Amino acid sequence: MACTGCALLCEDVEVQDGEVRHACRIGTAHILNRQQIDPMVDQKVVDIDDAIRHAAAMLADAERPMFLGFGNSITETQSSGVRLAEKICAGIDPCSVHTGLINEIVHSRVRTCTLPEVRDHADVIMFWGADPMNTHPRLLSGYAYYPRGKNRQHGWEEDRTAIAIDVRRSHTASICKSFHKIIPGRDTEFIDGLILALRNKVPKTVYDSKKVLKLAGTLKKAEFGVIFAGSEMLGSVPCDAIIRLMDELNEFSDFRILSLYHQYNLRSIAAATNTDTAVSCERPGGCDPTRLREADCLLCVGFDLANSLPQARDIDASIIVIDPNETLTSGYADVVIPCASGGVDLAGTAMRMDGAEIDLPCIMKNGQTDALTRMSDLNIMDRLLEAV
Ligand code: SF4
């Protein structure tokens, strides 16, 4: 079974007698989470069919609808959501700082690799604005640091050099051989300094130039380097700066990059919404409150708008929430439709963070949970598609 607790989609998870095996603490909490909410219209509990009917009417009447999220939905639901968006001329925004880099990766504008390739070949691993020990707990043991791989047979002590670049010394930084502290919002200056250092020039930078030169020396000697780009990095560094750095690193060695995000199927929706079909209409886009204010109806699918963007609380648009669990946004949405959780009580497929297609069988068997009574978000999306 595959865990949908994060984009690693670990495939060895099992549930026996109500006990989750092999999953990390995040995966276990995700699989056992049952904070389900009732279907609601205007915050009053209704029948699920009524909630779907109301949502369909709101979408059909909307002049500037916008869909947000879908990163926590199976691929089949995403496809149905894209068809619905085309039908009513809605924009889709996965609302993640990772979508830009994912698109560069998907379109081969930057070199990437698979997770098994990281395990087999990587000798220098950089965690940039990322703390996988707390966000993707099995990344280090499964692929990035501890395991022996085809060309890395001597173990992490000899074979791998881990480097952390972050605004704070995270748990992950504490196991790395070197740590470089970033001034918040000034990652790009660090990148510029590093590029100069890679060219054997002493960088004039706010950072310690000797340390930057030493880092450049380590990176140049890498046989197979990998950068795991976390949200802290992508929230402050434009994609072109990342591409400049990757181009420079690849002048001297073989460097790859992977985007490290949480939503288990973000890569699939980010790739789908980058095609002309999904966002063919000129509608508001981007999870920026100013642009969201242009929409008159927001459909949040597996996405907690109020949690991700607290400034969005005062948006006038009507809000529909489709989510397996109670969220901050469901606490004030106009329509709430609870749904099954992908991989937990709903089978489907998803794309792992490195692009591998993963089958998601249903983890919870009949009788292990009351959750089998939940309607799938694919079914909900299809009914909306039929009704609008
Ligand atoms: S690392 Fe991610 S996919 Fe793996 S068990 Fe933990 S939460 Fe689930």
Asked if residue 78 and residue 119 are part of one domain, the reply reads: no
Residue 140 included in any domain: yes
Q: Is 136 in the pocket of ligand 1 (CB under 6 A)?
A: yes
- Among the listed residues 236, 247, 263, the one whose alpha carbon sits nearest the alpha carbon of residue 128: 236
DSSP summary character for residue 141: I
Asked if residue 275 and residue 208 are part of one domain, the reply reads: no
Cβ proximity of 142 and 8 under 8 Å: yes
Cα separation, 114 vs 354, whole angstroms: 5
What is the secondary structure of 191-256 as a DSSP string? HHHHHHHHTT----SSS-HHHHHHHHHHHHT-SSEEEEE-HHHHTTS-HHHHHHHHHHHHHHS-EE
Asked if residue 361 and residue 327 are part of one domain, the reply reads: yes
Residue 84 included in any domain: yes
Nearest atom, ligand 1, residue 264 CA: 3
Q: Is 8 in the pocket of ligand 1 (CB under 6 A)?
A: yes
Asked if residue 326 and residue 239 are part of one domain, the reply reads: no
Residue 6 included in any domain: no
Please count the CA atoms within 13 angstroms of the CA of 388 that sit on its side-chain side.
25
Q: Is 10 in the pocket of ligand 1 (CB under 6 A)?
A: yes
Q: What burial class does residue 47 get, using C-beta atoms within 10 Å of its C-beta: 0-12 exposed, 13-18 middle, 19+ buried? A: exposed
Cβ–Cβ contacts within 10 Å for residue 169, how many? 13
Number of domains observed in the structure of the chain: 2
Asked if residue 222 and residue 179 are part of one domain, the reply reads: yes
Q: Is 132 in the pocket of ligand 1 (CB under 6 A)?
A: no
Residue 46 included in any domain: yes
Give per-residue burial for 360-385: e unless 16+ CB within 10 Å, then b: bebbbeeeebebeebbbbbbbbbbbb
Residue 203 included in any domain: yes
The CATH number given to whatever domain includes residue 244 is 3.40.228.10
Q: Is 137 in the pocket of ligand 1 (CB under 6 A)?
A: yes
Asked if residue 283 and residue 230 are part of one domain, the reply reads: no
The CATH number given to whatever domain includes residue 281 is 3.40.50.740
Q: Is 27 in the pocket of ligand 1 (CB under 6 A)?
A: yes
Asked if residue 176 and residue 223 are part of one domain, the reply reads: yes
Q: Is 363 in the pocket of ligand 1 (CB under 6 A)?
A: no
Distance 137 CA to ligand 1 centre (A): 7
Residue ID of nearest Cα to ligand 1 atom 4: 10
pTM: 0.92
Asked if residue 253 and residue 124 are part of one domain, the reply reads: yes
Residue where a domain terminates, one of 259, 275, 309: 259
Residue where a domain terminates, one of 211, 234, 259: 259
Residue 80 included in any domain: yes
Cα separation, 39 vs 342, whole angstroms: 18
Asked if residue 250 and residue 300 are part of one domain, the reply reads: no
Nearest atom, ligand 1, residue 6 CA: 2
Asked if residue 335 and residue 248 are part of one domain, the reply reads: no
Q: What is the pLDDT of residue 284?
A: 36
Residue 17 included in any domain: no
- Ligand 1 pocket test, pick from 138, 139, 145, 351 with the greatest ligand atom count within 8 Å of Cβ, gives 138
Domain interval for residue 317: 38-96+264-387
Asked if residue 307 and residue 239 are part of one domain, the reply reads: no
Asked if residue 146 and residue 50 are part of one domain, the reply reads: no
Residue ID of nearest Cα to ligand 1 atom 2: 6
Q: Is 31 in the pocket of ligand 1 (CB under 6 A)?
A: no
Residue 234 included in any domain: yes
Q: Is 9 in the pocket of ligand 1 (CB under 6 A)?
A: yes
Average pLDDT along the chain, 388 residues, taken 10 residues at a time: 96 89 95 88 96 97 96 97 96 93 94 97 97 97 93 86 97 96 94 96 94 97 97 92 96 96 96 56 52 91 92 88 94 95 92 97 70 81 95
Residue where a domain terminates, one of 243, 259, 275: 259
Q: Is 24 in the pocket of ligand 1 (CB under 6 A)?
A: yes
Structure tokens at 45: 């509990």
Q: What is the pLDDT of residue 367?
A: 54
